[in-house]
Amino acid sequence: MSTSLEQLKSRIKDRTAHVGVVGLGYVGLPLVIEFAQAGFTVTGIDVDKRKVDHINNAYSYIQDIPTEVLAPLVKAGKVRATTDFAVVDELDTINICVPTPLRKTKDPDMSYIVAASKDIAKHLHKGVLVILESTTYPGTTDELLLPMLEKAKLKCGTDFFLCFSPERVDPGNAKFQTKNIPKVVGGITPACTEAGALFYAQALDTVVPVGSTRVAEMVKLLENTFRMINIAMVNEIALMCDRMGINVWEVIDAAATKPFGFMPFYPGPGLGGHCIPIDPFYLSWKTKQAGIEARFIELAGYINGSMPHFVVDKIQNALNEHTKPLKGSKVHVAGVAYKRDIDDVRESPALDIIPLLQQRGAIVSYSDPFIPSLKHEGLNLDSQDLLAHAAEADCVVIVTDHKQFDYAALIDKANLIVDTRNALKSVDSPKVFRL
């Protein structure tokens, strides 16, 4: 065992290791909190000065991290933030939690990882543990990060330690959060895996070591590809049921009574969020490089991507049933966040549905208690009172089924409702049209 590894393990075990987290968003800030609460001193690094200032002023901008949880940790000196990567000189561990979006061409945008890794490499020193958490394609850690970090003339597995551990954050999930979601980790070498597993075990409930960074990278892609393909399948079933006049929600509920061999997935207006609509295409891109066509992924992406168009067709047909054209009609969208009870619009189907409605001549407004304004690629709207606009609208479309919405009052006020989430499951009314 190298001296560097022994010293690192000792600092981790006695909680004197100085922990660093690069990227202070939905993944990074919860990780900061968990390690600070476990007794470590944690420094967050982010290029966004507003986030850094908020943290240093003991204010949380992340819905899952209440300010009252962050504030005492800042006051106690356990948490601080900076934009300066020179702090890496002082760190014993560094978790990279930066965005990994897709380009328009559906190939990975590695620019955030590359930029962070270059800045870390300038200050890399013996005995430091670096863990990439950003979702990416298999091979990123050993093909991209490792050569960049070894330019510092240090040897991985002996002088410094490099791992990949997929983030599994589910914003808004009250039951499963960073601490109690099992943490998969794989290293470049066995010594790297040992250091990474020991590190996470100090703050998180369950650690799952795997044999390599590539296995760990593939784990996240399998998880989200599984969900994406099954959602696509049930979306296709919904299209079939709609054409045949069958209630797809009743079909799923009945099928879910089978105690084995079936797991219920539910249709919706399209995929949203920072993982499921994006991660499978990392795998698709990588397999193409290996000469393999990811047919399931591509087909599932096509089906899920067509759902906003189906929703708009559904709205148009519902209006037709009420002898109204879509063009010139007032359509009010209930919920624009990508899922229930969160303040995140990343990849939300509403971002497709609203422009599609506008293109067909509809006058569109929206309500969302978590999203006060919506500014995205030409959209510039402010949230309105749901019940007041429901009474004025020709059609209300439920895109996100927030619990705060008063559905009983909505049914009473609205002239027509298109429900894409089965929020009005128990309602039997000619004014309600379901997905």
Catalytic center residues: 275
Residue type, 262: F
Nearest to 136 by CA among 282, 296, 260: 282
Question: Cα-flanking dihedrals φ and ψ of residue 405, to 5°?
Answer: -70, 135
Rounded Cα distance between 158 and 127, Å, is 8
Rounded Cα distance between 242 and 230, Å, is 18
Q: Are 216 and 184 in contact (CB under 8 A)?
A: yes
- Burial of residue 308 (CB within 10 Å: 0-12, 13-18, 19+) is buried
Task: Compute CA distances 399 → 172, 222, 352, whole Å.
Answer: 17, 27, 11
User: Which residues touch 303 (CB under 8 Å, ≥6 apart)?
Assistant: 232, 235, 236
Place of tokens 């966040």: 337
Rounded Cα distance between 117 and 97, Å, is 11
Q: How many CB atoms lie within 10 A of CB 39?
A: 12
Nearest to 217 by CA among 296, 113, 338, 291: 113
Q: Are 70 and 58 in contact (CB under 8 A)?
A: yes
N-term to C-term CA, the chain: 60
Question: Cα-flanking dihedrals φ and ψ of residue 92, to 5°?
Answer: -100, -30
Place of tokens 């510039």: 380
